[in-house]
Amino acid sequence: GAGVSQSPSNKVTEKGKDVELRCDPISGHTALYWYRQSLGQGLEFLIYFQGNSAPDKSGLPSDRFSAERTGGSVSTLTIQRTQQEDSAVYLCASSSGAGFGTDTQYFGPGTRLTVL
């Protein structure tokens, strides 16, 4: 089956604008993760969804960042009032949801966000 897909592949926006990044997980995967990859901070966890449980938002850097997962499948990461430090590659991953850290996470190709 298809892997994790993300859209858009690249996004250029102006400072202060809102952006939405989309992730389609592997069919049947109940767990979904967002990570951010930037030059200064490396790869960092943002948010984790598992089934119908409340998401783990502990990695979101500010209240300008939010994410939703509709119908247990597609997820949207929203960044409001973008800042230049938000420029990064945003990676989405999904896994089968077995839990306890056992899952292999499968990654999408990422969205490169550039804030001018």
Q: Which residues bind another protein (CB under 8 A)?
A: 31, 33, 35, 42-45, 48, 50, 56, 59, 89, 91, 93, 99-110, 112
- Specify the residue, 18 or 44, whose C-beta has the smaller distance to another protein: 44
Measured between alpha carbons, how far is 72 from 29 in angstroms, rounded to an integer? 9
Is the CB of 18 or the CB of 45 nearer to another protein?
45
Smallest distance, another protein to C-beta of residue 102, A: 6
Local structure of residue 84 (DSSP, 8 states): G
What span, in angstroms and rounded, lies between the C-alpha atoms of 58 and 49?
Answer: 12
Beta carbon nearer to another protein, 15 or 49:
49
Nearest to 84 by CA among 116, 36, 40: 116
Q: In angstroms, give the least distance from the CB of 7 to another protein.
A: 14
Which residues lie closer than 8 Å to 40 by C-beta, 6 or more apart? Answer: none
Cβ-based nearer residue to another protein, 14 or 101: 101
Residues 6+ apart with CB under 8 A from 116: 12, 13, 14, 15, 84
Tell the smallest beta-carbon distance from residue 105 to another protein (Å).
Answer: 6
CB of 76 to another protein, least distance (A): 20
